[in-house]
């Protein structure tokens, strides 16, 4: 398994993010990602929020080993041709280390504040499907033509191309079983979703069915899970973390508990074994739910005491 961190851009400073990424690179983590939001998802819309793409570009140059990426871009915020160009540049800056994560878009208050069309869920998913086609065409073809319902290209170039061949790793984030996972099966190199062993086993089986319907080998898809880390022998602490996840992500209590990578080191190793049995090859730890100094201590313990058994 590979292990990564994704850093919320909220309530951060540039110096703090750079220091954290340099630290996790030095302590053996494999991947780090930024989030893609413009403001907090609160009624007050108050609080600092670093811009993800420009932050990632700088990190790609200053943090030279680990894979760098996005969990995940909101497709509604930018035309996919713009994303293709930006991604190619970051892949060149990083020397071929970009993981391009993309999702349909969900944070409605940002769309309202900035006048960005939010569309219906169906339209957002249609746009995500077409965006994947636009990205891959521009990354791989000398000139691209595309006539979709939502996006069009006309003899469009993209130069320079990305370093990675045939193109940067394309990760789609989301767990919608009827449509999103079908888009994953059709276009993605990598699927990412919130949840632990139970959620990943259930949704992974649905993804396998979509792959079979399209004639794709499901083993060609990397699968990653987002789980909140807490090393503790206090069961009450674990339950408080699950309650926080349920509130922040709008999850059912059982799914929120499944999203907790929490307990003693032995209990966490057991969870990771179950996650690996569900086909998960990458684990991401979010920085969203705990104060960073306490989380950072657990990140170091995780890499020293738990991760080696799964590499």
- Residues facing residue 69 across a β-bridge: 33, 99
Helix (H) or strand (E) holding 295: helix 292-301
In Å, the largest CA–CA distance within the chain is 60
The answer to whether 287 touches 8, Cβ cutoff 8 Å, is: yes
Residue 307 confidence (pLDDT): 98
How would you classify the pairing of strands 31-34 and 2-7?
Answer: parallel
CA atoms within 13 A on the CB side of 235: 0
Q: Distances from the Cα of 269 to the Cαs of 67, 153, 250, 262, in angstroms?
A: 24, 48, 27, 10
Tokens coding 174: 């989301």
Q: How far from 294 is each of 3, 50, 133, CA to CA, in Å? A: 19, 22, 41
Report CA-CA distances (Å) from 209 to 105, 133, 178, 181, 226: 25, 22, 11, 10, 22
Query: Residue 138 has what pLDDT?
Result: 98
CB 58 within 8 A of CB 89: no
Structural domains in the chain, CATH included, are 2-310 (3.20.20.30)
Tens digit of each residue's pLDDT, the chain (311 residues): 999 999 999 999 999 999 999 999 999 999 999 999 999 998 888 999 999 999 999 999 999 999 999 999 999 999 999 999 999 999 999 999 999 999 999 999 999 999 999 999 999 999 999 999 999 999 999 999 999 999 999 999 999 999 999 999 999 999 999 999 999 999 999 999 999 999 999 999 999 999 999 999 999 999 999 999 999 999 999 999 999 999 988 888 888 999 999 999 999 999 999 999 999 999 999 998 999 999 999 999 999 999 999 99
Q: CA torsion sign, 163 to 134 to 178 to 173?
A: positive
Radius of gyration of the chain (CA): 19
pTM tops 0.85: yes
């Amino acid at each position: 398994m590979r292990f990564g961190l994704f850093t919320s851009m909220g309530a951060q400073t540039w110096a703090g993010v750079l220091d954290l990424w340099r630290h996790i690179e030095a302590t053996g983590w494999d991947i780090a990602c930024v989030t893609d939001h413009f403001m907090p998802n609160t009624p007050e819309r108050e609080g600092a929020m670093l811009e993800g793409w420009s932050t990632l570009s700088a990190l790609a140059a200053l943090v030279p080993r680990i894979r760098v990426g996005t969990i995940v871009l909101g497709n509604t915020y930018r035309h996919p041709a713009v994303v293709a160009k930006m991604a190619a540049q970051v892949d060149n800056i990083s020397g071929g280390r970009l993981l391009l994560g993309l999702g349909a878009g969900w944070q409605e208050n940002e769309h309202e504040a900035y006048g960005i069309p939010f569309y219906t869920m169906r339209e957002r998913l249609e746009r995500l499907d077409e965006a994947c086609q636009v990205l891959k065409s521009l990354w791989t073809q000398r000139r691209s033509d595309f006539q979709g319902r939502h996006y069009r290209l006309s003899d469009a170039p993209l130069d320079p191309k990305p370093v990675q061949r045939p193109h940067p790793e394309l990760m789609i984030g989301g767990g919608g079983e009827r449509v999103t996972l079908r888009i994953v099966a059709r276009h993605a190199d990598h699927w990412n979703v919130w949840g632990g062993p139970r959620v990943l086993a259930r949704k992974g089986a649905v993804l396998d069915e979509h792959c079979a319907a399209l004639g794709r080998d499901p083993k060609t898809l990397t699968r990653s899970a987002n789980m909140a880390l807490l090393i503790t022998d206090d069961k009450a602490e674990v339950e408080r973390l699950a309650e926080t996840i349920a509130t922040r992500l709008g999850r059912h209590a059982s799914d929120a508990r499944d999203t907790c990578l929490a307990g003693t080191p032995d209990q966490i190793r057991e969870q990771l074994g179950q996650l690996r049995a569900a086909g998960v090859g990458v684990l991401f730890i979010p920085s969203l739910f705990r104060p960073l100094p306490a989380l950072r201590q657990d990140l170091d313990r995780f890499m020293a005491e738990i991760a080696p058994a799964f590499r």
